[in-house]
Amino acid sequence: MMACELFAAKYRTFAGTMIENFWAVATCFFALLAYLVNNWVHLQIIISLIGLLSIPLYWYARCHAVSDFQRSVSRVGQGSRQTL
């Protein structure tokens, strides 16, 4: 719900639908994975490894988002003649 607040009012329905589609696809993927991997211990290891693989992607996105944010804030500060 909070992610929908990032979009303009006329795009919120579409944004909310797309966000829910990711959850639906992930649920179907994990159901298929559970069907293919019969041992719950192996299933838990596979699910954990998928989560661990996403950590470098999160770190990379976070580092670049901070630098983009800093550039944006400094541009706003220059436009309003404020020192940041």
Residues 44 and 84 in one domain: yes
Strand, coil or helix: what is 39? coil
Which pLDDT does position 10 carry in this prediction?
84
Residues 66 and 81 in one domain: yes
CB burial readout 3-32, b (16+ within 10 A) else e = eeeeeeeeeeeeeeeeeeeeeeeeeeeeee
Which pLDDT does position 73 carry in this prediction?
67
Structure tokens at 50: 């998928």
Residues 9 and 25 in one domain: yes
Residues 4 and 42 in one domain: no
Into how many domains does the chain fold?
2
Q: For the whole model, what pTM was predicted?
A: 0.54
Residues 29 and 45 in one domain: no
pLDDT tens string for the chain (84 positions)? 566 777 788 888 888 888 889 889 999 999 999 999 989 999 999 999 988 888 887 777 777 766 666 676 677 666 666 555
Residues 18 and 59 in one domain: no
Range of the domain at 6: 1-36
Residues 48 and 80 in one domain: yes
Residues 23 and 49 in one domain: no
- Report d(CA 71, CA 39) in Å as an integer: 49
